[in-house]
Structure 1
Amino acid sequence: MPESIFTETKIPYHQKHYNGDFFPVILSPKLNITTLSYDITVFTEAIKAHKPWLESLIHKAGAVLFRGFHVTTADDFNDVVEAFGFEELPYVGGAAPRNIVVGRVFTSNDSPPDQKIPFHHEMAQVPKVPAKLFFFCEVEPGKGGETPIVLSHIVYERMKEKYPEFVERLEEHGLIYTRVLGEEDDPTSPIGRGWKSTFLTKDKNVAEERAAKLGTRLEWMEDGGVKTVMGPIPAIKVDKSQQRKIWFNSMVAAYTGWEDARNDPVKAVTYGDGKPLLADIIYGCLKIMDEESVAIPWQKGDVLLLDNWAVLHSRRPCNPPRRILASLCK
């Protein structure tokens, strides 16, 4: 096997320690980037050569940040994603307004950058979720705009300790998510994806068929929009690869962030039996997520790989410019 070009680095105050392990793991080139420039081909070939080791890192840590590897364009980022060899997952059923950039790469969320996006597992409200997420910083924000991440099993453990009856009820009933979609995308909203792009069709009958496969019921509205009702969906799942329970839901994201001209976030999520959730517990959960989260400021060229079963992510507001690209994998 070729010699590895990777070395693990530390960023003080921007990593957590759990059982002696760092979260996230940060990998940089072994040699100083000013004395030897690793181009994109060297990086992608190193990924292919050391894929089992890299996969073991992501399995153990939940998140790996690659920094300093001269990933400069969307095409470079697409090459990095391809080098890992994970199968692509189409973005069907998600809420974020996004646009394809190149290959398997799209914009992460086209909503205004001054809006916060709360913690969530990607597409947690649909049956088929991505196993891996890639993010790439094409244009770093001047201030703010971080992507905080938090380990899902840590959130579950702390919630079960603080709110045992609530967690028990979640495990019994799950959650129902309700969201109203317009016909077309609304880039002013963080959940502004219209039903045509959500279900990749302009045909209402096809949309209903695809929604049914996602466990979603559609209620058509006079203005051409549609109310989507998803669930009941389990809110606590088991990460089989780690044999531990995880906080796998969009409860906080829906209750605190699913707000626009069509949606009232308080009505966006309920228990699986239709009864309302308690606001103080939801905000208590948000506090736990904030306390346990890590938010490394983006630098141009950063590539962040997340295990979507292990890690929730969010977005802090910022002033433009900021351009973060993404890719989803099975």
Structure 2
Amino acid sequence: MTEIWTEGPAETWKPLEITPEGAGVEPTETGLARYLSELGDVEPLLTSAKALVLRGFDVGPDRLDPVLDALLPNRLPYVHGTSPRTKVGRNVYTSTEYPSEFTIAMHSELSYASGWPERLAFYCERPAAEGGATPVVDGALWLSLIDPEIRRAFAGGVRYIQNLHDGFGFGNSWQQTFECEDRDTVEELLRAAGAQWEWREGTGLRIEQTRPATARHPRTGEEVWFNQADQFHPAGLGDTAAAELALILGPDELPQSVFYADGGQIPAAAIQHIQQCGLAAAVDVEWRRGDILLIDNMLVAHGRRPYTGPRRVLVAMSG
């Protein structure tokens, strides 16, 4: 299945861009701080617009913290994440460190977990020489574009499996994933999440959990596509990468895998269709130095376009 289902909302959507001229303030970090102070709670505007691009305020990395404090009132650690990142500040991380030549498909952060951040803020310290945009897509639009047969197949939810090594292996270790070295702490987190787990001698930690495929936003009531089945499925890696991984690891040894809630296999064609729908409907945020992108993590999914040259985009999350 390669065609994109076209029934659903035809209107386009894009993030709301806020500039010093439009905000009526000076083009500095101080001007941005004044605008945010006068705005007060950013939540109503963010919920209405779904994503905001703050552009032209000349925010340097040494002046980023106060801005993040205003945008993210409760910055969260990246616990139980699957993406490789480096922590560079107070719950500030590099955006995903997957090789620059790959596209990262659309997803909402930690949508496979029992809890997820409500907001994400991305900051461009250095744009790529070429490419490297952050695509964003309206989650309700994405859902409407997915073939109804595929949506029905996911109605029972998604079963995620993670195999986290203990220091040597493919993917992240359990220590990296949970930002700790204590097994009891990890078990408390998994127990609270309603996940099943098993410590495997010499190989690490295996986690299994079943989550819904869609979710409703608590304030707007919109139903959105809200899972990472395509990122856990080998087909989401592309044919070449999936084939190479299959030669090295058995099906039960993959760092992550995914099934329908009843344990049934998800066809590769369904995964490819889901990815194509999300990327086709996405709007690219082309980075300029100092830009900040704030998104509602439920209403909007995000990804990454391939790029060349050095690129540094940071991300922080809020509950």
The counterpart of 2:115, out of the listed 113, 117, 128, is 128
Instruction: Report the alpha carbon displacement of residue 324 of structure 1 after superposing the two structures with TM.
Output: 0.5
Instruction: Report the alpha carbon displacement of residue 20 of structure 1 after superposing the two structures with TM.
Output: 7.0
Distance in 2 (alpha carbons) for counterparts of 1:325 and 1:166: 34
Instruction: Report the alpha carbon displacement of residue 55 of structure 1 after superposing the two structures with TM.
Output: 3.0
Distance in 1 (alpha carbons) for counterparts of 2:249 and 2:204: 9
Corresponding residue of 1:8: none
Distance in 1 (alpha carbons) for counterparts of 2:80 and 2:256: 19
Alignment of 1:155-234 (within 5 A): 155-159=142-146, 162=147, 164-171=148-155, 173-184=156-167, 192-230=171-209, 232-234=210-212
The counterpart of 2:54, out of the listed 60, 66, 77, is 66
The one-letter amino acid of 2:150's match is F
Instruction: Report the alpha carbon displacement of residue 92 of structure 1 after superposing the two structures with TM.
Output: 1.3
2:225 corresponds to 1:241:
no
Per chain length, whose mean CA-contact separation is higher, i.e. which structure has more relative contact order (CA < 8 Å, sep 6+)? 2
The one-letter amino acid of 1:26's match is E
The one-letter amino acid of 2:188's match is E
Deviations 1:166-188 (A, max 9, x none): 312322x20011122222498xx
Corresponding residue of 2:293: 304
Check conservation: 2:164, 2:255, Cα contact below 8 A: no
Q: CA separation of 1:79/1:32 partners in 2, compared to 1, >3 Å: closer, same or farther?
A: closer
* CA root-mean-square deviation: 2.8
Instruction: Report the alpha carbon displacement of residue 97 of structure 1 after superposing the two structures with TM.
Output: 2.1
SS at match of 1:49: helix
The counterpart of 1:117, out of the listed 70, 90, 104, is 104
Check conservation: 1:123, 1:130, Cα contact below 8 A: yes
Check conservation: 2:118, 2:297, Cα contact below 8 A: yes
Alignment of 1:267-282 (within 5 A): 268-282=257-271
Instruction: Report the alpha carbon displacement of residue 309 of structure 1 after superposing the two structures with TM.
Output: 0.8
Corresponding residue of 1:6: none
Instruction: Report the alpha carbon displacement of residue 45 of structure 1 after superposing the two structures with TM.
Output: 2.4
The one-letter amino acid of 2:75's match is E
Q: CA separation of 1:41/1:103 partners in 2, compared to 1, >3 Å: closer, same or farther?
A: farther
Distance in 2 (alpha carbons) for counterparts of 1:293 and 1:233: 24
Check conservation: 1:183, 1:224, Cα contact below 8 A: yes
Q: What is the TM-score when the length of structure 1 is the normalising length?
A: 0.82
Structure 2: unaligned runs, 5 residues or longer:
1-8
Distance in 1 (alpha carbons) for counterparts of 2:10 and 2:259: 35
Instruction: Report the alpha carbon displacement of residue 283 of structure 1 after superposing the two structures with TM.
Output: 1.3
SS at match of 2:120: strand
Distance in 2 (alpha carbons) for counterparts of 1:223 and 1:69: 51
The one-letter amino acid of 1:44's match is A
2:87 corresponds to 1:103:
no
Distance in 2 (alpha carbons) for counterparts of 1:215 and 1:142: 44
2:35 corresponds to 1:46:
yes
Corresponding residue of 1:9: none
Distance in 2 (alpha carbons) for counterparts of 1:26 and 1:153: 21
Instruction: Report the alpha carbon displacement of residue 315 of structure 1 after superposing the two structures with TM.
Output: 1.2
Instruction: Report the alpha carbon displacement of residue 237 of structure 1 after superposing the two structures with TM.
Output: 1.2
SS at match of 1:148: strand
Aligned residues between the structures:
300
Check conservation: 2:160, 2:257, Cα contact below 8 A: yes
Instruction: Report the alpha carbon displacement of residue 19 of structure 1 after superposing the two structures with TM.
Output: 8.1
Q: CA separation of 1:212/1:277 partners in 2, compared to 1, >3 Å: closer, same or farther?
A: same
Distance in 1 (alpha carbons) for counterparts of 2:159 and 2:312: 32
The one-letter amino acid of 2:219's match is S
Q: What is the TM-score when the length of structure 2 is the normalising length?
A: 0.84
Structure 1: unaligned runs, 5 residues or longer:
1-17
SS at match of 2:154: helix
Distance in 1 (alpha carbons) for counterparts of 2:10 and 2:273: 25
